Structure 1
Amino acid sequence: MENTGPIAFFVPSLTIGGAERVTVSVANGLSRRGYDVDLVVSYDEGDFRSDVAGSVNVVDLGTQRIPGIGIGASVPALVRYLRRQSPEVLFSQMTYANDIHIISQILSGTDTTAIATIHNTLGMQEESKEKLVQWLQRRLAHQIDQFVAVSEGVAESVVEHVGINREKVSVLHNPVPVNEVQERAGELVDHPWIESANLDVVLGVGRLERAKNFESFLRAFEKVHSARPDTRAIIVGRGSKRTKLETLAAELGIDDVVSFPGFVDNPYGYMAGVDVLAMSSVHEGLPTVLIEALACGCPVVSTNCPSGPAEILKDGEYGPLVNVNDDEGLATAIQTALDDPLPSDVLVERANDFAPTAVIDEYEAFIRSFASVDIADGAGKRSEPLTPS
């Protein structure tokens, strides 16, 4: 049997972000099962770099930083990589990277199976650059062998906005390291409100950007605090909207009962120590933060935004769902969760449905349906090609 190329993943960098975290987790999981895995990056940098398993081969494209072009400058190096390594499958992550991947594959002339992964609901983009990138993906869709969506809602948005048949979109959930989350949840958190037995604490976790809609979180919390003075709010994360959010908290008169600790290395200790996590997003893909909170036994409430919350919470079975920008509804949901929280063991059981073992099983089956790899006698050995399902 002849050697085959690796299973490859292309992501711009390994900076903090949901897509980056998922990519590292899946690459590590497949590598531990014996696959030859390449993690191809435009920039070999970021907080997740240290999380990459030693068995995963990190390929640094050495992309130049050219204003206005971004990772588009990766094309020549990615073409060379495709020709040199001929990976069996290349998964690209995020819409812009998907476009760069397909352009590079066309130029390379290789027959690598091209998989474009979509992490967020399409059709929600407002910036002109995002709209251009999505338009380009629609134009290149016929060159993509299969799309992977992280939730059913995202899959439907791909069908609608890319203009392809549903059969060309597979749903593979994001793996969440439930055991690791639970281990780290036991670590002490240096925040006085969490340590206080006399306070009810509401937590928000995410990038301080428009899509996360923390303005609605703050307006909802102001209503909660008015009814329950012993409540406090902590918003964990960093982003361009921090100053605006701090100003809004002051305008609402709650700046002394809202804390912005910024990025924290271990948000799980916060999840385990607070009374409820509230997600106020305008749109998502499959919001990992909800699954992580469930894994910590933390009650959750969420907007019923596209896409993922209803899928994770089973239409409200595991936590209330409210309309986007419904500040009153979000406040009521938070108070309901404070008054009558679901048992932690019920929440943890739901989180286990997204644990890595189950998700990596799905990835492995998916890869086998497109590639010709067989690891029974060692990683990366060729067997008879399987027919795509």
Structure 2
Amino acid sequence: MVLNLVNAMAERGLHIDLLLIKTHSRHLHEIHPAVNRIDLGSRHTATSLLPLARYLKQTNPPCLLAAKDRAGRIAVIARILAAASRTRLILRLGTNLTAAFAHKPGWRLFLRRLPIRLLYPRIDRIIAVSEGVRADTLTVSGVTPEKVVVVRNPVVTPQLLEAAEAPSPHPWLGDPKNPVILGVGRLTVQKDFPTLLRAFADLRARRPCRLIILGDGRQREKLQAMSDELGISEALALPGFTANPYAYMKRADLFVLSSRWEGSPNALTEAMALGTAVVSTDCPSGPNELLDGGRIAPLVPMGDWQALSKAMQRMLDQPPDPTLLCESVREYNAQQSADHYLEIMGLASV
């Protein structure tokens, strides 16, 4: 989503330096040609402290936007080291910190939360991607409420809508006798695809259907073994990462988000923008806001594969009006989001 934001700002003619820690991202080729890429020469956020401080001291930009929690904490220290008092520091938080830290043991949890309490008050403004993330940030960080503002993710772009019209990427898509259920995301604990597999196996026992999960990750072998145990391997496809998931989303009969936690789930937003029926877990944070408490589409408890299976069947049997889904994510437009960011960054008149 940061890529969409950077491109939307670049289209306005702003000079943007994109500070890179990792230069091998699959999406770097999509960056607007006017954006100036700067390699900080480090492989980890923690080791980028001194290069970032040097950049701030030499450049003294009017604003620095940090895209994640760790980057924000490093940016606070770098600004102090560089004595870059002119630089306004903005942090974008895209996840629910409490949920993300929940699996950590006590001492590691303490070590993660203490720097937040110490450093977040030195940030000028914090942009949360959902109301749930905002509320959690206030609790975790202890900053004053006026410092944290919600701006919706810059999800919906003309490029997304155009990419969705690409030719069908999989032979299963478009078969009315075997509706396709789609999951998208890294194959990690956070996305909880095992719950989706169990729900799918239960649903498939009652009606024909197929499941495609896009993404790479450490749980691939576990999911493949689990599909064999559940007897659904012939109805499951794991194509891995794809640069264009939107062609899948556009043609899938149902998109399912089975996550344990999010911030504001972009894949769910993208599917809705394309008019595809959706089901989601009611995880912290974001789905409840996107689906208006379950009014727009079903929300089910996290990890409850039986409830998920029933909700999936309901959406396949009675899909919602695609127009309603599209309308419900209008405020996730990239240009509108960029306007809000620039206003908060003090660059609206630039």
Same fold (TM over 0.5): yes
SS of alignment partner, residue 269 of structure 2:
helix
Q: Which residue of the partner structure matches residue 43 of structure 1?
A: 22
* Aligned-partner residue type, residue 280 of structure 2: S
2:291 pairs, out of 268, 293, 313, with 313
Instruction: Say yes or no: does 1:104 pair with 2:82.
Output: no
Consecutive aligned runs of 4 or more in structure 1 exceeding 6 Å deviation: none
| Alpha-carbon distance between aligned partners in 1 of 2:8 and 2:75, rounded to the nearest angstrom | 23
Give the alignment of 1:130-149 within 5 angstroms.
132-149=111-128
Q: Gapped runs of 5+ residues in structure 2?
A: none
Q: Does the 8 A contact of 1:95 with 1:133 survive in 2?
A: no
Displacement of 1:220 in angstroms is 0.8
* Aligned-partner residue type, residue 209 of structure 1: T
Q: Which residue of the partner structure matches residue 93 of structure 2?
A: 118
| Alpha-carbon distance between aligned partners in 2 of 1:36 and 1:190, rounded to the nearest angstrom | 37
| Alpha-carbon distance between aligned partners in 1 of 2:263 and 2:214, rounded to the nearest angstrom | 20
| Alpha-carbon distance between aligned partners in 2 of 1:226 and 1:131, rounded to the nearest angstrom | 45
Give the alignment of 1:333-348 within 5 angstroms.
333-348=311-326
| Alpha-carbon distance between aligned partners in 2 of 1:145 and 1:353, rounded to the nearest angstrom | 24
| Alpha-carbon distance between aligned partners in 2 of 1:344 and 1:137, rounded to the nearest angstrom | 41
* Aligned-partner residue type, residue 28 of structure 2: R
Instruction: Say yes or no: does 1:253 pair with 2:231.
Output: yes
Displacement of 1:131 in angstroms is 6.0
Displacement of 1:123 in angstroms is 0.9
Q: Gapped runs of 5+ residues in structure 1?
A: 1-21, 376-389
Instruction: Say yes or no: does 1:290 pair with 2:268.
Output: yes
TM-score, normalised by the number of residues in structure 2: 0.94
SS of alignment partner, residue 361 of structure 1:
helix
Q: Which residue of the partner structure matches residue 19 of structure 1?
A: none
Displacement of 1:34 in angstroms is 2.4
1:29 pairs, out of 4, 8, 20, with 8
Q: Which residue of the partner structure matches residue 58 of structure 2?
A: 84
Instruction: Say yes or no: does 1:188 pair with 2:167.
Output: yes
* Aligned-partner residue type, residue 161 of structure 2: Q
Displacement of 1:152 in angstroms is 0.5
| Alpha-carbon distance between aligned partners in 2 of 1:183 and 1:225, rounded to the nearest angstrom | 32
Instruction: Say yes or no: does 1:299 pair with 2:273.
Output: no
**Percent identity for Structure 1 against Structure 2:** 35
Aligned residues: 345
What is the root-mean-square deviation of aligned Cα atoms in Å? 1.6
1:349 pairs, out of 316, 320, 327, with 327
Q: Does the 8 A contact of 1:185 with 1:271 survive in 2?
A: yes
1:325 pairs, out of 295, 299, 303, with 303
SS of alignment partner, residue 311 of structure 2:
helix
The C-alpha deviation readout for 1:149-183, integer Å capped at 9, x for no partner, is 11100001101111122211111111013432221
* Aligned-partner residue type, residue 93 of structure 1: A
| Alpha-carbon distance between aligned partners in 2 of 1:187 and 1:134, rounded to the nearest angstrom | 44
1:175 pairs, out of 141, 154, 167, with 154
Instruction: Say yes or no: does 1:94 pair with 2:94.
Output: no
SS of alignment partner, residue 197 of structure 1:
coil
Displacement of 1:130 in angstroms is 7.0
Q: Does the 8 A contact of 1:99 with 1:133 survive in 2?
A: no
Displacement of 1:92 in angstroms is 0.6
2:252 pairs, out of 274, 295, 315, with 274
| Alpha-carbon distance between aligned partners in 2 of 1:227 and 1:330, rounded to the nearest angstrom | 14
Give the alignment of 1:230-245 within 5 angstroms.
230-245=208-223
Displacement of 1:320 in angstroms is 0.7
| Alpha-carbon distance between aligned partners in 2 of 1:227 and 1:175, rounded to the nearest angstrom | 39
* Aligned-partner residue type, residue 141 of structure 1: Y
1:62 pairs, out of 35, 41, 66, with 41
* Aligned-partner residue type, residue 176 of structure 1: V
